[in-house]
């Protein structure tokens, strides 16, 4: 059943960017989960009117699993993150920023040359830069997003379909992560009291790479029993798959867990001999790698975590 889910999402709902595309996906997911006896609700909030899909009872849940379901805009170059290699990651981001400024500088120089009006030239450059940023956020959808973040969506869905609705767990499919974590921000504001100390495990880009990094925030790390449950759940990964936990402040991985005091992020990484473990290809048409072994392995991790709370 779960494998069929992944195949169906990849074939029928590969892009979830427009309002209609998101509505179609949520309707499909809601019907499937409700048919298994799960409580399903949509929650709208925040400056962008983000629509989060909530499965289960957040108030009753001992742990919350999350993933964003929205699709990013297509970019000519991939986003690159080496979570433990701050220098490489920051240098790459600076280089992207410089590349963004070049067209704006050219426009500004052209206006200055033609009109000889420095103020107008500066304004033209700023407008060009703003337009490029808007295009990065709201431009045409990336048609290939197997890893970012169909993979996280499938981990949640396959876990839901593997558990009883009586399990003390909740799942949240966040909207507008690609616009700056807006959906998760709205969810945290609506459930602040409930989520202050409740663990949230966020899956973002988990199907391209054999090494799982789990970055835990301070609230998670201070809960020794919770951390022990996580370590135990990570035992027994398939051959060739490895996992490492790290303090969130020691690595770079910006995603929806950032809003939650007891949050943690899961990401799959490849390894480069010089750069270390890294994530790439996302936000481009090359984001096509979808390893079903990763999805199944993380589903089992989630199930074991739930069993540890139910036992």
Return d(Cα 144, Cα 137) in angstroms, integer. 16
Q: By percentage, how much of the chain surpasses pLDDT 70?
A: 92
Name the pLDDT band for 253 (thresholds 50, 70, 90). Answer: very high
What letter would DSSP give residue 252?
-
Return d(Cα 111, Cα 140) in angstroms, integer. 28
* Tokens representing residue 19 in the block: 């309002």
Closest CA to 263 of 189, 179, 183, 203: 203
Per-residue pLDDT tens over the stretch 91-149: 998 888 787 777 666 666 676 666 776 766 677 667 777 777 777 777 888 999 999 99
Closest CA to 149 of 157, 140, 139, 161: 157
Segments making up each domain of the chain, as ranges:
2-74+142-310, 86-138
Return d(Cα 116, Cα 94) in angstroms, integer. 30
Name the pLDDT band for 1 (thresholds 50, 70, 90). Answer: very low
Span 2-74+142-310 CATH architecture: 3-Layer(aba) Sandwich (3.40)
pTM, entire model: 0.92
Return d(Cα 46, Cα 50) in angstroms, integer. 6
88 has a pLDDT exceeding 60 = yes
Return d(Cα 212, Cα 289) in angstroms, integer. 15
Per-residue pLDDT tens over the stretch 190-238: 999 999 999 999 999 999 999 999 999 999 999 999 999 999 999 989 9
Who contacts 91 (Cβ-Cβ below 8 Å, separation ≥6)? Answer: none
Name beta bridge partners: 56. 170
């Amino acid at each position: 059943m779960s494998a069929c889910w992944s195949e169906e999402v990849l074939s029928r709902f590969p892009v979830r960017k427009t309002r209609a595309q998101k509505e179609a996906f949520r309707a499909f997911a809601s019907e499937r989960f409700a048919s298994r006896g799960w409580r399903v609700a949509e929650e709208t909030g925040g400056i962008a009117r983000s629509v989060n899909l909530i499965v289960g009872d957040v108030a009753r849940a001992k742990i919350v699993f999350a993933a964003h379901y929205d699709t990013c805009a297509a970019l000519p170059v991939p986003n690159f993150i080496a979570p433990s290699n701050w220098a490489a990651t920051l240098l790459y981001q600076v280089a992207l920023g410089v590349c963004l400024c070049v067209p704006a500088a050219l426009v500004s120089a052209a206006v200055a040359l033609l009109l000889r009006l420095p103020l107008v030239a500066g304004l033209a450059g700023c407008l060009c830069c703003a337009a490029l940023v808007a295009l990065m956020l709201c431009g045409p959808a990336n048609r290939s997003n197997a890893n970012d973040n169909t993979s996280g969506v499938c981990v949640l869905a396959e876990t839901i379909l593997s558990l009883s609705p009586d399990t003390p767990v909740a799942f949240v499919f966040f909207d507008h992560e690609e616009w700056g974590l807006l959906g998760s921000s709205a969810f945290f504001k609506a459930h602040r009291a409930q989520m202050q100390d409740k663990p949230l495990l966020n899956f973002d880009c988990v199907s391209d790479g054999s090494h799982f990094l789990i970055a835990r925030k301070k609230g998670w790390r201070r809960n020794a029993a919770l951390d022990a449950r996580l370590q135990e759940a990570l035992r027994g990964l398939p051959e060739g798959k490895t996992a490492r936990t790290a303090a969130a402040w020691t690595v770079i991985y910006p995603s929806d867990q950032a809003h939650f005091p007891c949050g943690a992020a899961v990401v799959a990484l490849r390894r480069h001999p010089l750069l270390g473990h890294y994530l790439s290809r996302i936000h481009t048409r090359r984001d096509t790698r979808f390893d079903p072994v990763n999805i199944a392995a993380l589903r089992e991790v989630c199930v074991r975590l739930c069993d540890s709370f139910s036992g």
